[in-house]
Structure 1
Amino acid sequence: MNPTIAMITFRSMLGRRRALLLLVLPAALVFLAAALRMIGENDLDVSENVLQRFGLATLLPLLALIAGTGVIGPEIDDGQLMYVLTKPIPRQVIVLTKLAVAIVLVAAFAAVPTLLAGLLLSGTAEGMAPAFTVGVVVGGIAYSAVFVALAVASRNAVTIGLLYALVWETLLGNFAPGAKSASIQQWALSVTDALTGASYVRSTVDLGVAVPLLVAVTVAGTLLAVVRLRSLSVASAE
């Protein structure tokens, strides 16, 4: 971790425009949960649907995409990262710092609102609120690693990330069991399933498979980002 890089990245990510992007979806989730509670539509079935479909399947990947690509992608595009690469800072430190910032942002803007929405909807019943919060955190770590790697590897990281999150995980996942099983969303849901007694929460992937896959994807994404950043600095020097 490099505190200076982390501070600069946080300042950049929490500027006016990006802060608004980070706030809109969480605010919508909490508002929806509050509205459902007010009208009495907050049983466990409704709670599970909101937390899974809005929190885990929509809010989490979109916020992770904004955070994961935003912490490094714009700096590559406008050339600001070249200044950092000229300093004697190991590439893995740069990547790990950027990834840590992305994870903190996802925890703040996705996990905390999910916990608040869960408590508004179902309180502490069946441990659903904390279970989904943990699922969002572990899923957010994996998503962030993938999207940071995409941002380093491609200028079209946002497009590729949207295709993965919306087409592969959401669209194809509803029709192709294989696509659903190869999904960070389902792996995170497996962790959630293991932590709650609610019968409505069900994942298509066993916990013993989901956890190693989450770890593998996180490590692979981080290593890919480091390798690509090294080649980026060499190419720039030439």
Structure 2
Amino acid sequence: MLGRRRALVLGSLPLLLVVISVVVRLMAGADPQSAVNVLGGFALAAMVPIVGVIAGTGAIGPEIDDGSVMYLLSKPVKRRTVLLTKLVVAIAVTMVFSAVPTLVSALILAGTADGVAVAYTVAALVASVAYASLFLMLGTITRHAVVVGLVYALVWEALLGSFVPGARSLSVQQWALAVGGDLAEGKLVTSEVTTVTGAVLLVVVTVLAAWYGARRLRTLTPATEE
């Protein structure tokens, strides 16, 4: 998953976010609203879902593509154990390459003022879990998981999820912002859904995606161990 090409993409997006944050800070100074604009418009809307695509699909997609997953599944290990192990790795990678740079960028843009840094970091963390599970499942469904995932991340999350009101309520981005938004002062960080709704939907999507991903793995070889 951390091969040369994937590592390049995983590292370039966080680096770009930090560079943008430094430029904005030099031009506008420390400003919580600038932090909200940059983190909401780029970090949560584009960087986090794209990192989730790369990490989630990379955790199992290449093994399915080259057939090496069959050797793994031939061992006396339950399919759900295989998937959960890969899910943990995908979540960890997504968090490192999304939540950490989000925190760094938030501190550059606004410091600790108004709780913006904490709000967006928490939002990035919970979004990382949902995205990793969702895109890991996608990797078990299609060989074109990266393409499908990028279309979802760029079109639905970054474009429609940011500008079309109806699409916002069905966006992992908005659910994550609902969870982290309460940690910011003055309603700087807002969401189209309530905190409870966002938290419930994040849990539901994560659990269902993990369950269906494990179910899909069972169809790759005879499920003799279940």
Judged with a 3 Å threshold, the aligned counterparts in structure 2 of structure 1 residues 182 and 65 are, in CA distance, closer, same or farther, namely same
* Conserved 8 A contact 1:142-1:217: yes
What are the residue-to-residue correspondences of 1:1-238 with 2, within 5 Å?
13-174=1-162, 176-234=164-222
| TM-score for both structures, normalised by structure 1 | 0.89
CA distance in 1, matches of 2:162, 2:14: 24
Judged with a 3 Å threshold, the aligned counterparts in structure 2 of structure 1 residues 129 and 174 are, in CA distance, closer, same or farther, namely closer
Per-residue CA distance 1:129-173 (angstroms, 9 max, x = gap) = 121011001011001111000000111212221222222233333
1:211 is matched by which residue type in structure 2?
Answer: A
SS of the aligned residue for 2:98 comes to: helix
Judged with a 3 Å threshold, the aligned counterparts in structure 2 of structure 1 residues 136 and 175 are, in CA distance, closer, same or farther, namely closer
Per-residue CA distance 1:54-109 (angstroms, 9 max, x = gap) = 11111100000000001100110001111101111111111011111111111111
Structure 2: unaligned runs, 5 residues or longer? none
Judged with a 3 Å threshold, the aligned counterparts in structure 2 of structure 1 residues 143 and 19 are, in CA distance, closer, same or farther, namely same
SS of the aligned residue for 2:221 comes to: helix
CA distance in 2, matches of 1:40, 1:173: 27
Structure 1: unaligned runs, 5 residues or longer? 1-12
SS of the aligned residue for 1:159 comes to: helix
Q: Cα offset for 1:198?
A: 4.0
Q: Cα offset for 1:176?
A: 3.8
Q: How many residues align?
A: 223
CA RMSD of aligned residues (A): 1.5
CA distance in 2, matches of 1:175, 1:192: 20
- 39-48 or 126-135, which deviates more: 39-48
SS of the aligned residue for 2:222 comes to: helix
Q: Cα offset for 1:208?
A: 1.3
| TM-score for both structures, normalised by structure 2 | 0.94
Judged with a 3 Å threshold, the aligned counterparts in structure 2 of structure 1 residues 76 and 179 are, in CA distance, closer, same or farther, namely same
Judged with a 3 Å threshold, the aligned counterparts in structure 2 of structure 1 residues 64 and 174 are, in CA distance, closer, same or farther, namely closer
The percentage of aligned residue pairs carrying the same residue is 49
* Conserved 8 A contact 2:127-2:173: yes
